[in-house]
Structure 1
Amino acid sequence: MEANWVFGIGTIIATLLGPILAVQAQKYLERVNESRNQKAWIFSTLMATRAARLSPDHVRALNMIDLAFNGGRSNRRKASETEVLDTWRDYLEHLTLTINEANAERWVEKQQELLVLMLSAMATDLNLRYDRVLLRNGAYIPKGHTDLELDQQKLRHYAIEVLSGNQPVNMNVTGFPFSEDMTNSQLKLQEGLAAVLAGQGHLKVRIEPGSTAQTDEKPPA
């Protein structure tokens, strides 16, 4: 009798809690899948655009890293997520550095290195097998795209420097309209004036007789 009573109570409890537990388990799985899908989107987008780092999708994916790899709704961050955030902080700090002609080439090399480290940390968090050599060399990056991106970064830097007043605009005039006859006339005029003022020349003055004024008045007697 006691066993039947215990079995009955257990059946009632299971009947009542079963749907609730099933719903909670379903919600948990949905949260896990949502978090993983978001991480996977960020990783796949960064992988696809790692040769075009100025593209809007690349920038958008970078800005979502803090949201996706911060432990989710449970706020329990895994060690692999912390590694992603640490590499992202280093990469972000590098992106904000000032670029000039002296450090431009080294800046691009360091950017590539930090991006590979971040992608490697993301792959580890997603349980994907990507070594750093593949992440570094697996993308096709035309040299023209690399040069264009570097030129755009330099142009942006110099434009900001000029507009902020920190860098003057060089004015180098290479030519004016030229007339040989006019130039020779100016030289002769300067030579003649210099000779006269030095007492070595003279000026020719021509006086023309003026006309006598005609009036209606008679002279006094």
Structure 2
Amino acid sequence: MFGNVDWAVVLATFVSPIVAVGITLWAQARDNRNRNRMELFSNMMRSRRNPLSIEFVGSLNLVPVHFHADRLVIARYADLMAVFGDSAWRSQDQQAIQQLNEKADLAIAYLLSAMSVVLKVPIEQLAILRGGYAPKGWADEEQLNQELRSSIREVLAGKRFLPVLAFPAPPQPAPSADEDESKPGSENLRRSIPDQ
């Protein structure tokens, strides 16, 4: 009986630290995963009013990496990708583009809501859809940048020309006869012109 207790103590002495390290590593990995997911979610929430921003697009592309095991999140992600991949974005019809923007906003709200449930910070879809703030100046600046890029593209393609403003040179006063004679070398000039 005494020999069995000694082996149990020896076994516990060696196994306990290994188990403790394993549990610690597992807990750290879980914390890192949760932290990464929360950071991704926070970035997307922060920039949801500007889905063309680098921050939003970069975070969106990481959703399948960090939420791969969450079926509802992946399904909502696929729905959003289908909206973004719609060929109607290339249309010249402004009403079709407006409808796609509304569908994209709704799909973003569904995705963020699904992510919030997984992260145990549930936020209403309506709060996601209607909430947030993006200054109108950002939209105006983006519109101006698009117009500028389009104009430059047309100039480079030869479809548009740059207007060149020609400013006439200011008129020079005609030299008077007295000034001509007073200039050095004017005698030589007069001599070289034959009399008529």
Q: TM-score, normalised by structure 2?
A: 0.67
Which structure 1 segments of 5+ residues have no match? 71-76, 163-168, 172-221
Given that residues 40 and 126 in structure 1 are in contact (C-alpha distance below 8 angstroms), is that contact kept between their aligned partners in structure 2? yes
Given that residues 54 and 149 in structure 1 are in contact (C-alpha distance below 8 angstroms), is that contact kept between their aligned partners in structure 2? no
Matched, 1:45 2:43: yes
Amino acid aligned to 1:59:
V
**Match in the other structure for 1:65:** 63
**Match in the other structure for 2:125:** 132
Query: How has the CA–CA distance of structure 1 residues 104 and 89 changed in structure 2, closer, same or farther, with 3 Å as cutoff?
Result: same
Alpha-carbon distance between aligned partners in 1 of 2:141 and 2:109, rounded to the nearest angstrom: 21
Query: How has the CA–CA distance of structure 1 residues 153 and 11 changed in structure 2, closer, same or farther, with 3 Å as cutoff?
Result: farther
Amino acid aligned to 2:42:
S
Query: How has the CA–CA distance of structure 1 residues 112 and 8 changed in structure 2, closer, same or farther, with 3 Å as cutoff?
Result: same
Which structure 2 segments of 5+ residues have no match? 162-196
Q: Return 30-39 or 142-151, whichever deviates more.
A: 142-151
**Match in the other structure for 1:93:** 82
Query: How has the CA–CA distance of structure 1 residues 33 and 24 changed in structure 2, closer, same or farther, with 3 Å as cutoff?
Result: same
Alpha-carbon distance between aligned partners in 2 of 1:94 and 1:155, rounded to the nearest angstrom: 27
Amino acid aligned to 1:138:
G
Given that residues 50 and 56 in structure 2 are in contact (C-alpha distance below 8 angstroms), is that contact kept between their aligned partners in structure 1? yes
Amino acid aligned to 1:133:
L
**Match in the other structure for 2:184:** none
Query: How has the CA–CA distance of structure 1 residues 86 and 148 changed in structure 2, closer, same or farther, with 3 Å as cutoff?
Result: farther
**Match in the other structure for 1:113:** 106
**Match in the other structure for 1:25:** 23
Amino acid aligned to 2:16:
G
Query: What's the offset of the Cα at 1:53?
Result: 1.6
After TM superposition, list the pairs within 5 Å mapping 1:1-221 onto structure 2.
Answer: 2=1, 4-70=2-68, 77=69, 81-98=70-87, 99=89, 100=91, 101-146=94-139
State how many pairs are aligned: 155
Alpha-carbon distance between aligned partners in 2 of 1:24 and 1:146, rounded to the nearest angstrom: 51
Amino acid aligned to 1:124:
V
Alpha-carbon distance between aligned partners in 2 of 1:154 and 1:32, rounded to the nearest angstrom: 47
Query: What's the offset of the Cα at 1:146?
Result: 4.5
The structure that is helix-richer by fraction is 2
Secondary structure of the residue that 1:139 maps to in structure 2? coil
Amino acid aligned to 1:135:
I
Alpha-carbon distance between aligned partners in 1 of 2:126 and 2:46, rounded to the nearest angstrom: 16
RMSD between aligned residues: 2.9
Query: What's the offset of the Cα at 1:142?
Result: 3.4
Identity of aligned residues (%): 23
User: 1:87-130 deviations in whole A, cap 9, x for unaligned?
Assistant: 11110121122323230111111011000000001101111121
Alpha-carbon distance between aligned partners in 2 of 1:10 and 1:113, rounded to the nearest angstrom: 61
Secondary structure of the residue that 1:140 maps to in structure 2? coil
User: 1:162-202 deviations in whole A, cap 9, x for unaligned?
Assistant: 9xxxxxx699xxxxxxxxxxxxxxxxxxxxxxxxxxxxxxx
Q: TM-score, normalised by structure 1?
A: 0.60
